[in-house]
């Protein structure tokens, strides 16, 4: 396994199975309180050029909890890019102020570009519709916490599989571990062909369908629900055609089985009814809270504060 020290975390495609296991194992130790204070003397910058609640705030909380310092921008209009400064100039400048940079940007490839421009590690907190690797780490940790394993599960993903970066990263990771996948989406929001080809190459069994009811006989262990990514539609009318396509209720869960666990990267719009929140199936708030130990562990590993 390659060391994490000084490594940028841009895409799940750059990672080995051992890397993913290492992050999950380290997160377990952090969550149990076995590792503390490992970011002391380290400074993290969070540069968010797109809206965020969980990702940015859990990164920032993770830094404080592990004894480090954090600063950043939460709103691009508050940075000099609004004066016409290039992304590259901003990144080069801020790299002199911190030890790790966490970046979210609407352009696919932005985090990769940043990682090639500067010498400190860059963590991709979401680049357009492409990748969201740290969400995948916390998703994997949550799956392992719930099932005691990350392989040999039947996992459905429902919603916007075209523009949803969380499901792109997660699909790749679940394929590496060996799981059976079911993709539920409107025809216009299917999982990109390139990702399906990767699954074929890895001999991962998958099924695609349009209606959640068709998954009745799939014996799903997990249903991972996603929001339709309104901001990524070029044409608002195209969004209106698919908005509100899916809505998970207590009744639909009944169809899919009592043991089903429901995950969601959040934010939710209307794809899960609030009545679902109080069922034992709903684990999305546990999942969101696992963002803290996961991001603590990751920052510890890339700064060398943890081995
Ligand atoms: C996701 C994202 O930003 O991709 N949110 C998150 O980080 N938890 C999902 C979304 O916005 O729908």
Q: Residue 212's domain is classified under what CATH number?
A: 3.40.50.1370
- Judgement on whether residues 164 and 259 belong to the same structural domain of the protein: yes
Q: How many CB atoms lie within 10 A of CB 259?
A: 11
Probe residue for ligand 1, chosen from 102, 226, 239, 265 as the CB with the greatest number of ligand atoms within 8 Å? 265
User: Are both 142 and 39 inside the same structural domain?
Assistant: no
Same-domain check for residues 144 and 127? no
Question: Quick one: 273 exposed, middle or buried, by C-beta within 10 A (0-12, 13-18, 19+)?
Answer: middle
- Alpha carbon 175 to chain centroid, angstroms: 15
What mean pLDDT do residues 204-210 have? 97
Whole-prediction pTM value?
0.97
pLDDT digits (tens, 9 = 90+) for 61-117: 999 999 999 999 998 887 888 888 999 999 999 999 999 999 999 999 999 999 999
Cis peptide before 157 (omega within 30 of 0): no
Strand 222-225 and strand 206-209: the pairing is unpaired
| Domain with 39 in it | 12-131+291-303
Mean of the per-residue pLDDT values for the chain? 96
Q: How many domains does the chain have?
A: 2
Clarify whether residues 55 and 147 are in a common domain: no
Please give the average per-residue pLDDT across 217-241, as a whole number: 95
Mutate to test the pocket of ligand 1, among 266, 284, 294 (most ligand atoms within 8 A of CB): 266
CB distance 129 to 108 below 8 Å:
yes
Q: Tell me, yes or no, whether 139 lies in a domain.
A: yes
Q: Are 141 and 280 members of one domain? A: yes
Angle ∠(244,190,193) on CA atoms, nearest 5: 165
54 close to ligand 1 (CB < 6 Angstrom): yes
* Residues 177 and 254 occupy one common structural domain: yes
Same domain, 125 and 185: no
Q: Helices 165-177 and 193-201 meet at what angle, rounded to 10?
A: 10
Residues 49 and 192 grouped into a single domain: no
Residue 146 sits in the same domain as residue 274: yes
Same domain, 107 and 137: no
- Name the β-bridge partners of 154: 180
Residue 163: what pLDDT? 97
Q: What is the pLDDT of residues 124-166, one digit of tens each?
A: 999 999 999 999 999 999 999 999 999 999 999 999 999 999 9
């Amino acid at each position: 396994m390659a060391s994490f020290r000084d490594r940028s975390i841009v895409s799940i495609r750059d990672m080995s199975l051992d890397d993913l296991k290492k992050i999950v194992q380290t997160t377990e130790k952090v969550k149990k309180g076995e590792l503390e204070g490992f970011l002391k003397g380290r400074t993290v910058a969070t540069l968010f050029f797109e809206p965020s609640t969980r990702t940015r705030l859990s990164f920032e909380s993770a830094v404080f909890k592990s004894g480090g310092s954090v600063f950043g921008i939460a709103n691009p209009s508050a940075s000099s890019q609004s004066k016409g400064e290039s992304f590259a100039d901003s990144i080069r400048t801020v790299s002199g102020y911190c030890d790790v940079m966490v970046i979210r940007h609407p352009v696919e490839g932005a985090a990769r570009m940043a990682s090639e421009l500067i010498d400190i590690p860059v963590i991709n907190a979401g680049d357009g519709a492409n990748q969201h690797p740290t969400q995948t780490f916390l998703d994997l940790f949550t799956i392992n916490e719930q099932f005691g394993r990350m392989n040999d599960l039947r996992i459905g993903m429902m919603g916007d599989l075209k523009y949803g970066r969380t499901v792109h990263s997660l699909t790749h990771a679940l394929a590496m571990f060996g799981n059976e996948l079911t993709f539920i989406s409107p025809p216009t929001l299917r999982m990109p062909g390139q990702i399906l080809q990767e699954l074929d190459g890895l001999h991962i069994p998958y099924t695609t369908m349009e209606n959640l009811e068709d998954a009745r006989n799939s014996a799903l262990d997990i249903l991972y629900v996603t929001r339709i990514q309104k901001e990524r539609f070029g044409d608002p009318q195209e969004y209106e055609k698919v908005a509100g396509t899916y809505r998970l209720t207590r009744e639909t869960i009944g169809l899919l089985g009592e043991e089903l666990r429901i995950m969601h990267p959040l934010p939710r719009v209307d794809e899960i009814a609030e009545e679902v929140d109080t069922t034992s199936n709903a684990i999305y708030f546990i999942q969101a809270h696992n963002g803290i130990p996961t991001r603590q562990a990751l920052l510890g590993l890339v700064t060398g504060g943890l081995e």
